Amino acid sequence: MEERSYAFFQNRACVYFPCHEGVREEAFNCLFCYCPLYALGEACGGKCAFTDKGIKSCENCSFPHQKENYNEVLRRAQAVLELAVRRFPERGDGHGV
């Protein structure tokens, strides 16, 4: 993945680094600091849980932070775009969402 430097970013100066356990520190990817798959709920592909109030918690999920999951995050992000198009159909074909 070294030849694809755009697929990996690390911010060791972040006060939260690493923000999740379960990923080797040298392979921890900060590129998706805020998960683009959050809106997919349980279908995000990660290890999420829901609080008693029904709020999604990604506290125990490292899926978007694993270097090898870059392509899968992008593939699943398409589903997020499709959700947005269904939610706001009046905004066009999705290219402006």
Alpha-carbon distance of 57 to 74, in angstroms, equals 21
For the chain, which residues make up each domain, given as ranges? 8-91
The pTM (predicted TM-score) of the whole model is 0.72
* Exposed / middle / buried, residue 78 (Cβ in 10 Å: 0-12, 13-18, 19+): exposed
Per residue of the chain (97 residues), give pLDDT as tens: 457 788 999 999 999 999 888 899 999 999 998 899 999 999 999 999 999 999 999 988 999 999 999 999 999 999 998 888 888 776 655 555 4
